[in-house]
Amino acid sequence: MPRIAVALHADFADWEPALLMAAARYYLGCDVVTASPDGQPVVSMGGLKVTPDISFAEIDPERFDALVIPGGYAWEKGEAFDFTELAGDFHAKGKVVAGICAAASALAATGILDGVAHTGNSLASHRKYPGYQGAEHYRDQPRAVCDKGVVTAPGSAPDTFAMEVLKALDLWTPEAQAEISAFAAEHR
């Protein structure tokens, strides 16, 4: 089964990776590993205290099939980790790289969105990063986008974010579809 690394900052948006993590771990039997910058506990925006399994330095594309980065206030506070090298390594090895909300804009800063279809909270939030050159590939839509193993979503789309990450990992089975669809039923 695939191994998924979920990179958590202090003040991460706890609702953004929750459905993906639960579906992948509980229903599909994946190994979901949480990480923080230094391996120490982090507290989410909602007050959820998470004791991670590893530090960011231990996230290695040789050991994981996906790097998932939820958004949160670390970017607004200027305290976010620079994912350029880590996301670039995952992408170069053909592994799934996924960012939602502010983390999608953080991926814009890495350059990996420059050549793939993507979305996020807004094009303006991506353009805050001077190195971003992917505006022509930006999709202004409320659903997640997956292209060439890169998944992006606005913060309001945790359901389709989970769905697109599972598809990128070739885990979009009837069981996965049933579970995600049940949680997203209110959006029909």
Whether the Cβ atoms of residue 23 and residue 162 lie closer than 8 Å to each other: yes
Strand blocks (E) in the chain: 3-7, 31-36, 42-43, 49-50, 54-55, 66-69, 96-100, 145-147, 150-153
DSSP label at residue 12: B
Whether the Cβ atoms of residue 92 and residue 117 lie closer than 8 Å to each other: no
* CA distance readout (Å), 124 to 88, 152, 166, 186: 22, 15, 28, 29
- Which residues participate in catalysis according to the annotation? 101
Whether the Cβ atoms of residue 152 and residue 145 lie closer than 8 Å to each other: yes
Compute the distance between CA of residue 151 and CA of residue 14 in angstroms, rounded to an integer.
18
